[in-house]
Structure 1
């Protein structure tokens, strides 16, 4: 690879290197910052001036899957590769000469020794790192998760912190006096790290972590299990996303105090979620929720009603209700969604009534996207034409999309209803399920009356 670079950018090739080397140093560093760190280092062979230029680049992107492939043979075992990668990271950090480190992105797959991380993070903090992205994966499931050093939780320069994989920030259960101080942190993403033990501890270090982020705007976290009572109070928060990786039918209560929220995303088993106030600034919400028959089913209606009361001002809503109990929930929407202009709805055999109710409560809807689950039970009763004010739907709807069309009777009745009632509809797009004839579907749907004289019907 290095030889290829030498041939491509050698002075003999029309003086490419000479011309590039005449560029200002700041511009050269800017160009190198778009390359992976291993490629930036490789440019040092091009000329004397380039030899240490990479050390001025304020971005480090180190990946254990790729950075040491040229130094090691296929016969080397994992321990040797791990030692080599740790040596390379330490060496790169030692040679980096820039005063401040803008970004430190580390993707690390290791088997047994994670002790180097402490020194690397101390170095990054000393370089006033602004964005830290750690993606850690362990080959050996018997090895304990990596623990971040306590000193790191007072990194005043961090603006973005992303942690994913086998990381455990449960480091202060026995040291409650440890404080979190991230005065500049605006984005915090915690993906599949060890969260449950933190939240369930009496000391609530996760919540103390949030209290140490006075300007936090974007919080995202995923976990394998929610249990217990959580209270998230972040007045500056604009984006909140949380999810369970698997459906555990777990029991939890979540209170959220985030009056500035503009974006909300939830994926998981529906339980008791309370917002302290209505979200007047909310623009977009994505809800992928599971409702299954269990001992908590008597509370489902109340939980859904409470959640959508808080989301009532949303403009763009994506709703995917999964599970066997949605057909027992009934009409759960609190009042009209006056601001809703786009609805994306994932329909199944159990949740058609919820779609009907939403259409009834969205008088200003402009775009409707309906996607059908392929696990659909064709024997269940589904679409029924609503009996409410028939002028609600046609008022503003201009775009309609239906994905997964199989030509079932309830599907045809639903599409017929939209075409017949939507008075200003401009496009109706039907995406057919694989194996179905597009020509036959188009021929049949073309026979349905269309209230809008400008509606274009497409079948894909």
Structure 2
């Protein structure tokens, strides 16, 4: 939706004549609801939609000015066809005026997504944050995105001119920052913060220890696209409960984690030279996704082997395939086998089927397995490395696919294409799954690979007719 300055002034003007018109009978029911309920409804709307309700009737004219959730997104307010400079100017003007007219005494959540130019709009940003702090904001979410060149990897070296001392306030519980160039200072003490989400921020050797000291009650930490150069990343905390490190770079350094009360750990494509997992004894769930490269295999093993007690795990089956190629067999030492829930990123190739079967064999507590397609990443790697689809078929596959009963209760295959490998795996579970209750097949629905409804129906009927060990087992095609 395109907004210019004249339209913006008209949309929130007290002299707007259209706001005096009587409500349509269709709106009478919602209009007669109590103010608190109407404000709750408005709190789920983007700010421009909330403001536009002022046209409904006199009852609605100023109601939006009392909402406790304010969500400003430049992409939704200003037309994407505008050039960067005009878009920033229109958006900043809109936010300034909306906050000026807002009359609520407290703010639960303020979110601002802005294609930020710190040299020109620093004063605007400062006033927006001061508004939130003065209104005792509970959640402050500042996403100051920038346009990066393809070779601009070192965004953390960018100077940040904004004075971080404005963040000092005991009311803030959740703080989400995408502020390139931000570096913690002793002024940045967040005594009340329990959740901290940092994105596109450069970290120094003292950054994380300082942040943990500045946030003594921190329970949830997310590091998204952060950069750390020539320094170890050390996370020592007895309060931390969830930790997520996503698409980040650790150049010439290691990562150390010592968090005895950590319950959830996510590590997705975090590049580091070494990993040291000291104490994560309370960990319940983990997501470990690496770039598919032999260079990271040993580090992957270090992390996964430290998660022997987790109950829920998401990984890539490719790593077990690598272990099979290196050792010729599967060892229980390569993975924790006490989990109850396992999600695998896989293409269900013939190379991976023996590994999946072996996982089922050595995981007596496993109740639910989800196989999620990651075709592009894994197929590209297999093609680049001339991986053969025939490597582990025949006698070896038959040997792995026999043996004692399986106790898996539920299998879900997303992006189901009804390939021979998928059908073979499902039949294997039907044959040996004595506790099997449900198999859910979700057909592949993007346009990259097509599968006819007739083919799906034919293979589904084939599976329905296949004998099964569990009389309670059912197969669902969604």
Contact kept, 8 Å, 2:439 with 2:473, in 1: the verdict is: yes
Contact kept, 8 Å, 2:313 with 2:341, in 1: the verdict is: yes
Identify the match of residue 233 of structure 1 among 236, 256, 266.
Answer: 236
Aligned-residue Cα RMSD (Å) equals 4.0
Contact kept, 8 Å, 2:401 with 2:428, in 1: the verdict is: no
Superposed, which structure 2 residues align to 1:64-79 within 5 Å? 64-67=74-77, 78-79=84-85
Q: Can you list the C-alpha shifts for 1:57-83, whole angstroms capped at 9, x where unaligned?
A: 2222222234356xxx98x75434432
Q: Which runs of 5+ in 1 are unaligned?
A: none
Distance change (3 Å), C-alpha of 1:57 and 1:25: same
1:95 maps onto 2:101 in alignment: yes
SS in structure 1 opposite 2:339? coil
Identify the match of residue 438 of structure 1 among 440, 456, 459.
Answer: 456
Distance change (3 Å), C-alpha of 1:284 and 1:293: closer
Question: Per-residue deviation at 1:86?
Answer: 1.7
- CA distance in 1 between counterparts of 2:463 and 2:61 reads 67
Distance change (3 Å), C-alpha of 1:238 and 1:385: farther
- CA distance in 1 between counterparts of 2:353 and 2:243 reads 28
1:428 maps onto 2:439 in alignment: yes
Q: Which piece of structure 1 moves more, 213-222 or 284-293?
A: 284-293
Distance change (3 Å), C-alpha of 1:353 and 1:222: farther
- CA distance in 1 between counterparts of 2:78 and 2:362 reads 58
Distance change (3 Å), C-alpha of 1:236 and 1:444: same
Question: Per-residue deviation at 1:106?
Answer: 0.8
SS in structure 1 opposite 2:51? helix
- CA distance in 1 between counterparts of 2:360 and 2:285 reads 17
Identify the match of residue 196 of structure 2 among 153, 163, 188.
Answer: 188
SS in structure 1 opposite 2:290? strand
Q: Can you list the C-alpha shifts for 1:271-327, whole angstroms capped at 9, x where unaligned?
A: 5333222433x3322221234234xx6xx34x3443223322222222125579554
Question: Per-residue deviation at 1:131?
Answer: 0.7
1:455 maps onto 2:455 in alignment: no
- CA distance in 1 between counterparts of 2:471 and 2:59 reads 68
Question: Per-residue deviation at 1:146?
Answer: 5.5
**TM-score computed with the length of structure 1 as normaliser:** 0.77
Contact kept, 8 Å, 2:160 with 2:182, in 1: the verdict is: no
Distance change (3 Å), C-alpha of 1:405 and 1:34: closer
Contact kept, 8 Å, 1:216 with 1:237, in 2: the verdict is: yes
SS in structure 1 opposite 2:223? strand
- CA distance in 2 between counterparts of 1:168 and 1:158 reads 21
- CA distance in 2 between counterparts of 1:12 and 1:418 reads 60
Contact kept, 8 Å, 1:114 with 1:146, in 2: the verdict is: no
- CA distance in 2 between counterparts of 1:407 and 1:94 reads 60
Q: Can you list the C-alpha shifts for 1:30-57, whole angstroms capped at 9, x where unaligned?
A: 4433333233333445566654443322
For 1:114, the equivalent position in structure 2 comes to: 121
Contact kept, 8 Å, 1:289 with 1:321, in 2: the verdict is: no
Question: Per-residue deviation at 1:230?
Answer: 0.9
Identify the match of residue 44 of structure 2 among 12, 34, 46.
Answer: 34
Question: Per-residue deviation at 1:270?
Answer: 6.4
- CA distance in 1 between counterparts of 2:302 and 2:148 reads 43
Q: Can you list the C-alpha shifts for 1:225-256, whole angstroms capped at 9, x where unaligned?
A: 565411112322222211216xx796542111
- CA distance in 2 between counterparts of 1:78 and 1:411 reads 48
Contact kept, 8 Å, 1:304 with 1:332, in 2: the verdict is: no
Q: Which runs of 5+ in 2 are unaligned?
A: 1-6, 445-449
Distance change (3 Å), C-alpha of 1:416 and 1:98: closer
Superposed, which structure 2 residues align to 1:317-332 within 5 Å? 317-322=313-318, 325-328=322-325, 330=327, 331=330
- Residue-pair matches, total: 431
Q: Which piece of structure 1 moves more, 435-444 or 305-314?
A: 435-444
Contact kept, 8 Å, 2:354 with 2:400, in 1: the verdict is: no
Contact kept, 8 Å, 2:290 with 2:300, in 1: the verdict is: no
SS in structure 2 opposite 1:242? strand
For 1:62, the equivalent position in structure 2 comes to: 72
Identify the match of residue 159 of structure 1 among 167, 170, 173.
Answer: 173
